[in-house]
Structures are given as C-alpha cells and as structure tokens.
Amino acid sequence: MPARQFLTEQEEQQIVNAINTAEEKTSGEIRVHLEHRCDGDALDRADHVFHNLGMDETKLQNGVLIYIATEDHKAAVYAGKAIHREVEDGFWNDVLQILIDHFKKEKYEEGIEGAVRKVGQKLEELFPYHQKGDLDELSNDISFHDNKN
C-alpha cells in the first residue's frame, strides 16, 4: 500500500491537529513523515529525511521527526541537536514504543498521535512557547514519499 493511502484523510487531519496542539505550547517543531519502503537503517533514513525537510534549519534546532516506513514496518525518531542533547536516555525509545504498541493492534493513527503528544510534552518542558518571536517554522502537514524500491 502506498504511504499516501496508509491513513484516511480524517486520520491525517487528526494527526495534524495533534501536531498543531503540541506546537501551541512549544517553540519546537514536530513533523511526521511516511514512506512506503526503507531499505536500510530507519534512523539513517530519518536523518536524511530530517535534513531534506529543512528541519535542521530551524532557529533553535529543536525539531523532531517521527519517521515511518509503512511497508517495511520500520520507524525512527530523529531530533535536532538542541533537543537531542537535553532528553534523558531512553526517551526516543519510549516514543517508538508508543508507535509499536499501537501498530501491533493496527491502530496506526492512535500510535502516531500518541507519539506526537509525548514529543510535544517533552518539547513543552524543554522549549516552552514564548509568544514574542516564536514562529511556526515548518509545515505541520504529514509528508510522504511513495518510493517503489
């Protein structure tokens, strides 16, 4: 199934709404990227996508990418330098576990939304929203790559 068909339009919108809600409380940026295949290591691919989406160019280096390869059942969470050095050991694995637990039950939207909420809470804790000068630097829409590898 192509990545663009992994979620219904309603499920996509619920995830975008979760991103919007999370980002209201933080200067951090959250993106979700879905693609069909990931031939190599998911974290390496997430690193590549993170940079392709311009997430490494945010002012505070506090963006987080939730990466999912739908066909290959791979996922990774990749974070900007500022957030990555601040989170406790195991935090990113905890985010991934939310995805895994829900995906095993085929509750894909709920898993992604739960991961977004957990990341948003951490971003709010470490990079709270300060109205002056805070901009939504990146799109909150889900990005897709329907590769045919």
State how far the alpha carbon of 90 is from the alpha carbons of 9, 49, 64, 75, 112, in Å: 32, 22, 15, 15, 18
**Nearest residue to 145 (alpha-carbon basis) of 78, 46, 62, 57:** 46
The answer, yes or no, to whether residue 147 has pLDDT greater than 50, is: yes
Q: What pTM value is reported for the model?
A: 0.92
Q: Which residue has the higher pLDDT, 27 or 35?
A: 35
In this predicted model, what pLDDT tens digit does every residue of 69-89 receive, in sequence order? 999 999 999 999 999 999 999
Give the pLDDT mean for 26-47: 95
Identify any residues that bridge with 79 across adjacent strands, giving them in sequence order: 64
Q: Which residue has the higher pLDDT, 65 or 143?
A: 65
Query: What is the CATH number that goes with domain 3-129+137-143?
Result: 3.10.310.50
In this predicted model, what pLDDT tens digit does every residue of 87-143 receive, in sequence order? 999 999 999 999 999 999 999 999 999 999 999 999 999 999 875 555 666 677 898
Domain ranges of the chain: 3-129+137-143
The answer, yes or no, to whether residue 1 has pLDDT greater than 80, is: no
Model confidence band, residue 149 (pLDDT cutoffs 50, 70, 90): very low
Model confidence band, residue 148 (pLDDT cutoffs 50, 70, 90): low
- Per-residue model confidence (pLDDT) at position 59: 84
User: Which residue spans within 4-148 are E strands per DSSP?
Assistant: 29-35, 63-69, 74-79, 143-145
How many Å apart are CA 149 and CA 83, to the nearest integer?
Answer: 32
